[in-house]
Amino acid sequence: MPGRESGASGQVASAMLDTLGLTVLERGWLSANQAVFRAHGATPATVVDTGFCRHAEQTLALIDQALGGEPVGRIVNTHLHSDHCGGNEALQRRGDIETWIPASSMLAVKRWDEAALTYRLTDQPCPRFVAEHALVPGECIVLGEASWQIHAAPGHDMDAVMLFEPQTRTLIAGDALWEQRLAIIFPELVGEYGFGPARATLSLVERLQPRAVLPGHGRPFGDVAQALASSRERVAAFERHPERHAQHAARALLVFHLLEVRQAGFDELVDWMRLAPIYRIVVQRAGLDETGARVWAGGHVRRLVDDGVLVQHGDQVSVQPQAQ
């Protein structure tokens, strides 16, 4: 798992990022990365994705540092998972900022429909924010000095978008493409079709031929062919064995929860898993009763401890520091 809280840009040439007026803030696992654009003419300084709410203060400080104190005038979100828009509200509280989100999420945000926005499903907090502008696939948005294409990127999240700058061939991928791993295909967990759209989004990335990808998590990278190949392999494997995808998701969401609460009792974690709606759906689909669900949840916690991802002291479980 990525574990940095710095402004590093990995191997992607800093000259290119400079041309785009862009600084990449590579964050730890709980917060997604930020792409921070300097203001240019009438275009306000902009941040793409704002991290998880518990890190909001740190996110704002990192953005301020990247902009040298210049005020942020605009928020853009690739999608509305809690680790990508959890800093929106804190930025909006400063005032004088506009917020752009994927067009298909506009209604859910207007109504603050926490079910549609997945916060209830995953039991992840996200402070309420407002959004005035829609990112419409097929249109463009000016960020820094360049015009970026907006592309639909369904799969991990059916409403997600990616942003592509054709001159430098830079792609802000959100969670549609990571360097090594594959993000959870959320629709599949609730019985909707996600693998096909995820595959189509990978094909779209291939057609765009990016030279550099800024992923939602992990360092920016240039070996796009390798990333596409490993993502495709994972999608195909999960498609053959959807239950393995559900297991993978259960582990990833449990680690996320434990990173958020830092430490919890073993039984407390099992209870949390039994009650979180996303697990209830997974358990129901696997045909398990209450006892079976408890055994299933306990098995996951135990396996993560055995694998060294989690560490247990007495009854208390936390995330192994190097796994963060």
When binding is defined by CB under 5 A, the residue of 54, 81, 217, 257 that contacts Zn ion is: 81
Measured at the alpha carbon of residue 256, what is the angle toward residues 255 and 262, in degrees to the nearest 5?
Answer: 80
**Measured from the CB of residue 185, what is the shortest distance to Zn ion in angstroms?**
11
Both tokens assigned to 208: 């765009």
**Measured from the CB of residue 238, what is the shortest distance to Zn ion in angstroms?**
16
Residues binding Zn ion: number (CB under 5 A): 2
Q: How far is CA 39 from CA 36, 45, 170, 206, in A?
A: 10, 4, 19, 30
Q: Tell me which stretch binds Zn ion (CB under 5 A): 7-15, 18-26, 141-149, 171-179.
A: 171-179
- Considering only residues 88 to 107 of the shown chain, the ones binding Zn ion according to CB under 5 A are none
Both tokens assigned to 209: 């031929």
Per the listing, tokens 């596409």 go with 228
Q: Which CB atom, from 48 or from 146, has the smaller least distance to Zn ion? A: 48
Q: Which CB atom, from 56 or from 249, has the smaller least distance to Zn ion? A: 249
Q: Which CB atom, from 32 or from 301, has the smaller least distance to Zn ion? A: 32
Binding mask 38-77 for Zn ion (x = CB under 5 A): ----------------------------------------
**Measured from the CB of residue 176, what is the shortest distance to Zn ion in angstroms?**
9
Q: Which CB atom, from 123 or from 175, has the smaller least distance to Zn ion? A: 175
Q: Which CB atom, from 175 or from 179, has the smaller least distance to Zn ion? A: 175
- Report if residue 188 touches Zn ion, rule: CB under 5 A: no
Neighbours of 226 (CB within 10 A): 12
Q: Tell me which stretch binds Zn ion (CB under 5 A): 115-123, 135-143, 173-181, 204-212.
A: 173-181
Sheet order of strands, 46-48 included: 3-6, 22-28, 34-37, 46-48, 74-76, 98-102, 133-135
When binding is defined by CB under 5 A, the residue of 165, 175, 188, 260 that contacts Zn ion is: 175
Q: Tell me which stretch binds Zn ion (CB under 5 A): 79-87, 130-138, 188-196, 298-306.
A: 79-87
Q: Which CB atom, from 213 or from 270, has the smaller least distance to Zn ion? A: 213
- Considering only residues 114 to 153 of the shown chain, the ones binding Zn ion according to CB under 5 A are none
**Measured from the CB of residue 84, what is the shortest distance to Zn ion in angstroms?**
6
Q: Identify residue 323 by its one-letter amino acid code.
A: A
**Measured from the CB of residue 216, what is the shortest distance to Zn ion in angstroms?**
6
Q: Tell me which stretch binds Zn ion (CB under 5 A): 80-88, 128-136, 223-231, 312-320.
A: 80-88
Q: Which CB atom, from 81 or from 234, has the smaller least distance to Zn ion? A: 81
Neighbours of 102 (CB within 10 A): 26
Q: Which are the contacts of 201, defined by CB distance < 8 A and separation ≥ 6?
A: 152, 153, 154, 155, 162, 176, 177
**Measured from the CB of residue 157, what is the shortest distance to Zn ion in angstroms?**
6
Residue nearest to Zn ion (CB): 81
- Contact residues toward Zn ion (CB under 5 A) are 81, 175
